[in-house]
Structure 1
Amino acid sequence: MKKDIEIPVDENVFVAAVKESNGELLAENWYVYVINARHTYIETVIVVSKGYGDAAKTSTIRRSIEIMPARSFQKIELLPENLLALENEFFITFFADGKLYERKCVFKANSISDARSVNIPVLEQDGVWAY
């Protein structure tokens, strides 16, 4: 039965936003990364993202990553300035150790800023964590 299905939440897969220079656009933009801080690889990674707020919402976007090695990261999305005022949610599911895991990470509205930047392990860049 549905109540018997257990999907554990993994605490070692994260989402962070990092500000990077974009030579083509001659601007700095925030990019979102999925970070696998586990000591083992993860596979069949599905990331579903959406943004929402009082007056606006974005489309739901789905991405897949076949495999992420241990202690690795993958750039998944550009967050334009106009989306920083929304709550941006990233729901991640993946397989590891023969189990299905999940993790929901949210950037609160207006939480992505230079003032909140800290060092992001594995990426070794300054950025903002999603919670």
Structure 2
Amino acid sequence: MSSDDEGAVKNVMDKATYERLQKDVESVKGEISALTAQLSDALNTFTGSAQKQARKTYKQARASVDSVVDDATKKGSAAFEAAQDAAATIEDTLEDAIVQRPIAAIGLAIGLGFLIGVTWRR
């Protein structure tokens, strides 16, 4: 073969190799695009699932807090009512004692006043 023939064969082979490499590069670009789309879809799905789980957890926590607050309110109301009842009972008992024994009640009041006065002086 002459050097011109060799050069022509080399150019044809180089051109075929170049075209094959160009097709391979285009194929890889297409695969990268497809992979990018798949990753984007997977990320969107994961993000959606995470948002749903976060909302669910928030709703559960809020329901728990609301339940605890309701229970505390009920218990506080019950304790307040019990204290009011006890105060009313003590008031009624003292009133009955004062009405039944007025002199003893006055003596008790004077004695308590004296004890409080002595205690405060110290």
Calculate the TM-score normalised by the size of structure 1: 0.16
Which structure: greater strand fraction? 1
Which structure: greater helix fraction? 2
Greater gyration radius = 2
Q: Which has the higher contact order (CA 8 A, sep 6+)?
A: 1
Calculate the TM-score normalised by the size of structure 2: 0.17
